[in-house]
Amino acid sequence: MDKKALLDKFIDELNRELNTIAEAAFEAKEAATNSESKAENKYDTRGLEASYLAGAQAKRAKELRQFIDQLSRLQLRPYNKLEPIESMAFVEIESEDAEKKYIFIVPKEGGMKIDIEGVAVLMISPESPLGQGLWHKKEGDVFSIKLKGQEKEFEVIQVQ
């Protein structure tokens, strides 16, 4: 798997998400400052609620922009079998029931899934349960984590 192409595709998806959030923040700000949002009585909080929403969306947009910038600056490097898994590793794992998963570990955020070259790849952070299970493992290592209330065992097949 070409890690540069993988990273670029994740960044493209994150930029689409950023545009959606920025648009929503703008619309919420417009709603908060619109004359129709002016309180009609002391219990009318439409304008206040819209301003809170606009602030939260603007904060999320800023965080996402910083994350995209961070990902854009990170250096990709190849891994060898003896190196422990860390951020920016592309990992293939297999569960005890022969289900394969493809994982891209990023410094934070995660939780996004994309298809590239016919393969579904999940972007995770080291803080996620799967990220914690994989952290500092090597090719051939076996680990288990609790998923959906059940203990599940995985083997690290390949690290790039």
pLDDT tens-digit series, residues 22-66: 998 888 888 777 776 666 777 767 777 888 888 899 999 999 999
Whether residues 95 and 154 share a domain: the answer is yes
Name the residue range of residue 102's domain: 90-159
Count of domains for the chain: 2
In a domain, 126, yes or no: yes
In a domain, 13, yes or no: yes
pTM over the 0.85 mark: no
The band of 109, judged by pLDDT with boundaries at 50, 70 and 90, is confident
Last residue of a domain, one of 73, 98, 131: 73
To 5 degrees, how large is the angle CA 12–CA 107–CA 104? 60
Helices (runs of H) and strands (runs of E) counted in the chain: 3, 6
Contacts of 2 (CB under 8 A, 6+ apart): none
In a domain, 82, yes or no: no
Whether residues 9 and 34 share a domain: the answer is yes
In a domain, 124, yes or no: yes
Whether residues 97 and 67 share a domain: the answer is no
pLDDT tens-digit series, residues 59-99: 999 999 999 999 999 889 888 888 999 999 999 999 999 99
Residue type for 43, please?
A: Y
Q: State both tokens at 42.
A: 């002391």
